[in-house]
Amino acid sequence: MKVSRSDFLKYMGKGMLALTAVRTLDLLSESTKEPSKKVQSTHTSSPKTKKDISSKIPGSNFKPLKPNTQDDLILAAGFTYDLIAVYGDKINSRGDTFGYAADFNCFFQFPNDPNSALLWTNHEYLNELEYYVTGYDYNQKGPNNRTPEQIEKYLYSLGGSVIGLRKSKGAWVLDPESKYGRRINGRSEFQLKGPVAGSETISGKTKVYGTFANCSGGQTLWNTVLSCEENYEMVVEDCKLEDSKEYGWIIEIDPFDPSSTPVKHTALGRFSHENAALTVSPSGKLVVYMGDDSKDQCVYKFISEKNYDPKKGKLNSELLEQGTLYVGNFEKCVWVPLDLEKNPNLKNAKDKEGNPKFKTQADVLVSCRDAAKAAGGTPMDRPEDLEVHPLDKSVFVSFTNNDSHGNFYGQIVRIKEENSDAESVRFEFEVFVAGGGKSGFSSPDNLAFDSSGNLWMVSDMTTRLLGKSIFKKFGNNGMFFIPTSGEDAGKAFQFASAPIGAELTGPWFTPDEEFLFLSVQHPGEDTRDYDVPTSRWPRKTKGDIPRPGVVAIRRA
Ligand code: FEO
Ligand code: CA
Ligand code: CA
């Protein structure tokens, strides 16, 4: 780049501005853990106007928060949030309402209208807070005696929401009458796609009903959303559903077509799906990285058979129907195919009676955990979110924790594929940062990269242990900013603190990086007396219940 004298002065001016800001913060800082000003210099985005510098969130120098136990969503100084939608808010003219336990968020801008957008939000589970939705006391012992009405409320509150957003006075707000406003829930109809659809393994079904336990997800390159069914077993049991094989899949929804039938993609396997991180390999294949969030479960990747073709638009969805699923063997550092024809260990696997364990590829995909173990997949410490680094394509994985062998604090691991090629069979890995007192966080969960390659992570310390014993020093769950290059690489700086009993989930930047959408999930989850919840976030008015919801964070 050729820099003229006047340009040079302009750049100098900006550098000085950033430096002054850092110095001011340094003076105010009580902590030596201030993100270094060098973080600023890792920016690779297009030339910035003065407005860009003041409005964008990433790479920001902020005074890190200390562990906090207040019942509030607290952000680093200089940032504010707008409440976008909370449980019970009306989302369309038909009167549909925003579901419970907001998790993954995915933002879709309308191409021709910068003031109009759609947001997909997952609604994961009810658990301890079911009383506030159905009136049923989760903590009561004895048989499951939910009434049919309670079961319907339960299933309606889970799944996901498409909500319409419009920009008003510089902030995003919910449009309660949006024609795109839509609920996908525990009763919605789905098309089953991929090798399991119509197979004997699932009694010939090509249509199935309901989605729930929707944890995290991913955005496709063709502007649809993938949402992941995680801990479905409990919902199947609570709601007396017949066939658990209909759940534990990754679903796809087109938020721009309210009449479209959502899809369950069976080629991606059936397990406790946390999220789906998509990338395109150098040869053009679509690669999807996935984790099975349970103790001693595995990390997976799927490679499409055909190539991604931008010209095909939404027809690229077919890429998720045909391809090879692999499981990670971290001892040999290889991806092992979970394909009955390619892997003799699957062909030779026997059940207790000595019969073949997997007769068809549909069997492999439905019983993916068994197949992964038979193929030599490495049991890991709760693989939750995986994300692909936007600059070097390494893959970051949150291993939340695994108390069954003393890993209480978890770690973030960085996987480097051979030749930086997502199709590679071989990989290397290293612990990028471990949870604990030194790093200042515990139990990493969802991850999001900004365009400069800084990692934004939310923590998921088990609610019943929050504020107790080993987790006490961390305070409430929070959000952390972790540079991946420069002198602060691998250092965690706390950016946000969650209300009591809550977990922050679903961080998602708008493409202009001026807004960070974030969910506040299960505030008050440690409540035992439902009349006296431990949190009344966000309204805090006497008598209101705690309401999980979504906020949009921006610079104040
Ligand atoms: Fe729903 Fe793995 O967190
Ligand atoms: Ca999660
Ligand atoms: Ca989690």
CA distance 502 to 420: 37
What pLDDT, on a 0 to 100 scale, did the predictor assign at position 140? 79
> Has residue 23 got a pLDDT over 60?
no
What pLDDT, on a 0 to 100 scale, did the predictor assign at position 5? 31
Q: pTM for this one?
A: 0.91
What pLDDT, on a 0 to 100 scale, did the predictor assign at position 59? 61
CA distances from 463 to 43, 189, 332 (A): 36, 33, 35
Is the CB of residue 292 below 6 angstroms from any atom belonging to ligand 1?
Answer: no
Round the average pLDDT of the chain to a whole number and report it: 90
If 0-12 CB within 10 Å is exposed, 13-18 middle and 19+ buried, where does residue 455 land? buried
Structure token digits, residue 91: 């989302």
Closest approach atom of ligand 1 to CA 216 = 1
Closest approach atom of ligand 1 to CA 272 = 2
The bridge status of strand 263-265 relative to strand 189-193 is parallel
Mean pLDDT of 201-216: 98
What pLDDT, on a 0 to 100 scale, did the predictor assign at position 49? 40
Give me ligand 2 centre to Cα 550, in Å: 15
> Has residue 11 got a pLDDT over 80?
no
What pLDDT, on a 0 to 100 scale, did the predictor assign at position 58? 73
Which residues have CB less than 5 Å away from ligand 3 (the ion)? 445, 460
Mean pLDDT of 222-238: 98
Is the CB of residue 215 below 6 angstroms from any atom belonging to ligand 1?
Answer: yes
Contact 122, 214 (CB under 8 A): yes
Q: What is the DSSP string of 250-274?
A: EEEE-TT-TTPPPEEEGGG--S-EE
CA angle, corner 102, sides to 100 and 108, nearest 5?
A: 125
pLDDT grade for 84, boundaries at 50, 70 and 90 = very high
What pLDDT, on a 0 to 100 scale, did the predictor assign at position 20? 29
Higher-confidence residue: 18 or 230? 230
Closest approach atom of ligand 1 to CA 230 = 1
> Has residue 87 got a pLDDT over 70?
yes
Mean pLDDT of 120-134: 97
Is the CB of residue 96 below 6 angstroms from any atom belonging to ligand 1?
Answer: no
Higher-confidence residue: 352 or 5? 352
Contact 316, 223 (CB under 8 A): no
Strands (E), 409-540: 411-417, 427-434, 444-449, 455-459, 478-482, 493-497, 503-509, 516-521
Give me ligand 1 centre to Cα 394, in Å: 22
- Give me the percent of the chain exceeding a pLDDT of 70: 90
> Has residue 10 got a pLDDT over 90?
no
Give me ligand 2 centre to Cα 505, in Å: 7
CA distance 170 to 341: 55
Higher-confidence residue: 48 or 307? 307
Give me ligand 2 centre to Cα 273, in Å: 9
CA distances from 527 to 16, 74, 77, 436 (A): 50, 21, 30, 27
Mean pLDDT of 87-95: 98
Mean pLDDT of 459-468: 86
Q: Which of 497, 452, 447 has the alpha carbon at shortest distance from 475?
A: 497
pLDDT grade for 54, boundaries at 50, 70 and 90 = low
> Side chain identity at 365, as an amino acid letter?
L
What pLDDT, on a 0 to 100 scale, did the predictor assign at position 261? 98
Per the listing, tokens 């807070």 go with 129
Mean pLDDT of 183-190: 98
What pLDDT, on a 0 to 100 scale, did the predictor assign at position 55? 76
Give me ligand 2 centre to Cα 156, in Å: 20
What pLDDT, on a 0 to 100 scale, did the predictor assign at position 31? 38
Query: Residue of the nearest CA to atom 1 in ligand 1?
Result: 215
Query: Residue of the nearest CA to atom 3 in ligand 1?
Result: 215
> Has residue 2 got a pLDDT over 60?
no
- pLDDT-wise least confident of 96-100, 418-422, 524-528: 524-528
Mean pLDDT of 475-504: 96
> Has residue 507 got a pLDDT over 50?
yes
If 0-12 CB within 10 Å is exposed, 13-18 middle and 19+ buried, where does residue 286 land? buried
Backbone angles phi, psi at 52, to 5 degrees: -55, -45
CA 514 to chain centre: 20
> Has residue 167 got a pLDDT over 80?
yes
Give the total residue count for the chain. Answer: 556
CA distance 433 to 281: 26
What pLDDT, on a 0 to 100 scale, did the predictor assign at position 36? 54
Closest approach atom of ligand 1 to CA 382 = 2
Q: Is the dihedral of CA 255, 260, 261, 266 positive or negative?
A: negative
Is the CB of residue 162 below 6 angstroms from any atom belonging to ligand 1?
Answer: no
Q: Which of 75, 76, 72 has the alpha carbon at shortest distance from 35?
A: 76
Task: Check whether the bond before 538 is cis (ω within 30° of 0).
Answer: yes
Give me ligand 3 centre to Cα 67, in Å: 19
Per the listing, tokens 């604090």 go with 409
Q: Which of 320, 473, 344 has the alpha carbon at shortest distance from 409?
A: 473
Per the listing, tokens 């493409």 go with 511
Is residue 131 within a helix (H) or strand (E), and if so which, with residue range?
helix 131-134
For the chain, the straight-line distance linking the first and the last C-alpha, in angstroms and rounded, comes to 34
Q: Which of 499, 392, 513 has the alpha carbon at shortest distance from 448?
A: 513
Higher-confidence residue: 19 or 165? 165
Per the listing, tokens 């088990």 go with 462
pLDDT grade for 523, boundaries at 50, 70 and 90 = very high
